[in-house]
Amino acid sequence: MSPRITELLADLRRYAESGVLYAPTAADLLRKHLAAGLDLDPELCAGEATGYSQRVLYSGPSHSVLALTWMPGQQTSIHDHIAWCVVGVLEGCELDEVFRLWRVPGKRRRYLVPDGQTTSTAGRVTMLQPPHEDIHRVSNPGRTRAVSLHIYGADITANGSSSINRVFGEAVLDEPPLGARPVTWREPAGPPAP
């Protein structure tokens, strides 16, 4: 691993051991290291034609660090996470589309409605912090590969090397159905359909 990645991993472990590793402190550390020229070894940046690639750089009880590579047009499913997440883009750009879950009272079916989006380019750091709804989809809208570093506030190897808590298969609508209200996926889906 490159010396700068080794330094970042050491700083994260030091913060974790001191009990001060949270999304905001991890984001500050990642910003500092990106500004200092954080880079990844070429083999950690290789893309795959079948979908985005993910490489675990570190996983321990308090946090995990992954390198993700996205080729043009690749995207995740709509999902949320098991823990907070900090993302720093090293190369290219990533589009993060956020969704809100809606349901018409008395009905079982739920819908996803877009609730904003952010395009991040090299050097930008963003955060997701459950338990607030963090339902989103990430993609590479660019013409070249995108490479990002993800820091999760959990040992993702305990979840099959994935930070994904839940994948959402609900229909995506441009706007909520008439009479619908925002709900959390933690709420029961409602009464069974007649």
Q: Which residue positions form the known binding site for Fe cation?
A: 79, 81, 136
Q: Helices 23-35 and 3-18: crossing angle, nearest 10°? A: 160
φ, ψ (nearest 5 deg) of residue 114: -55, 140
Burial class (CB in 10 A: 0-12, 13-18, 19+), 4: middle
What is the phi/psi pair of residue 104, to 5°? -80, 125
Beta bridge partners of 111: 102, 171
Helix H or strand E encompassing 171? strand 171-172
User: By C-alpha distance, which of 96, 118, 104 is closest to 173?
Assistant: 104
Q: Which two tokens stand for residue 122?
A: 């090299």
**Residue whose C-alpha is closest to residue 1's, from 58, 51, 52:** 58
- The backbone torsions φ and ψ at residue 11, rounded to the nearest 5 degrees and listed phi first, read -65, -45
Distance between CA atoms of residues 26 and 87, nearest Å:
10
User: Residues marked as binding?
Assistant: 79, 81, 136
